[in-house]
Amino acid sequence: MNELVHSPRRTNDPARTMAEILTVATTEFANKGLAGARIDEIAAATRTSKRMIYYYFGSKEGLYIAVLEDAYRRMRRIEADLHLENLTPEAALQRLVEFTFDHHASNPDYIRLVMTENMERGAYLAQSKTIQELNVPAIQAIRHLYDRGVAHGVFRAGLDPVDIHASISALTFFNVSNQYTFGLIFKNEPQSSSAIAARRDNVVEMVVRFVRQSN
């Protein structure tokens, strides 16, 4: 009598299987974009099948959206662990900028995914049912530390927390997204350890000075 042999890891641990698929798919989509990524390669690398991937995520586009959501979710989860409310307003702002800079520098796949989705004009993030909810805490954290700073006379009034977030994102994103073209054009080594450290300090100072109350 023939017996069907099932993989306990795949059959009994779907959460782990999905996490492995997301990890491999993150690299695949980051390196090749949505159009160039191949489900066959993701399936082979995770020892699953296209059928299983479609079962969990619905389609290639569904997997891509899940990858985007997971990338934002991981970043926001770490942000929540910064406990900015326990720091003075200026120290909290400095810590947030440092974290964002370090996160982007050490997660180039995240940067490439965001660049890919911008090339898609946000069409797939727009289909996400959770992306807005995932990013609300980021703005709330800035709003809370900014309001505390204004109340204490440390930060100048009249700034928009979303604009502060945009400034932090822009200054920390460019260092990774444009490293190759910038380095080639200006004949420098923007990714040397000393250059990264100096750029990190400069970005922190620029943001803090922008928000700080003038004496």
Can you give the residue ranges of every domain in the chain?
8-211
- Whose tokens are 């928009």? That residue is 160
Per the prediction, the chain carries an average pLDDT of 92
CA dist 16 → 24, 63, 170 (Å): 12, 15, 34
Q: How many CA atoms lie within 13 A of 129 on its CB side?
A: 1
Given a contact cutoff of 8 angstroms between Cβ atoms, the answer to whether 136 and 79 are in contact is no
pLDDT at residue 126, as a whole number: 96
CA atoms within a 13 Å half-sphere pointing along the CA-CB vector of 67: 31
Q: How confident is the model at residue 194 (pLDDT cuts 50, 70, 90)?
A: confident
Environment class of residue 164 by beta-carbon count within 10 Å: exposed (0-12), middle (13-18) or buried (19+)? buried
> Which tokens in the block code for residue 163?
């604009």
CA distances from 72 to 66, 125, 131, 142, 200 (A): 10, 11, 8, 17, 22
In Å, the largest CA–CA distance within the chain is: 86
Quickly name the fold that domain 8-211 has: Tetracycline Repressor; domain 2 (1.10.357)
Which two structure tokens, joined as six digits, stand for 19? 């996490």
pLDDT in tens, 10-68: 456 899 999 999 999 999 999 999 999 999 999 999 999 999 999 999 999 999 999 99
Check if the beta carbon of residue 100 is closer than 8 Å to that of residue 168: yes
pLDDT above 90: percentage of residues in the chain: 81
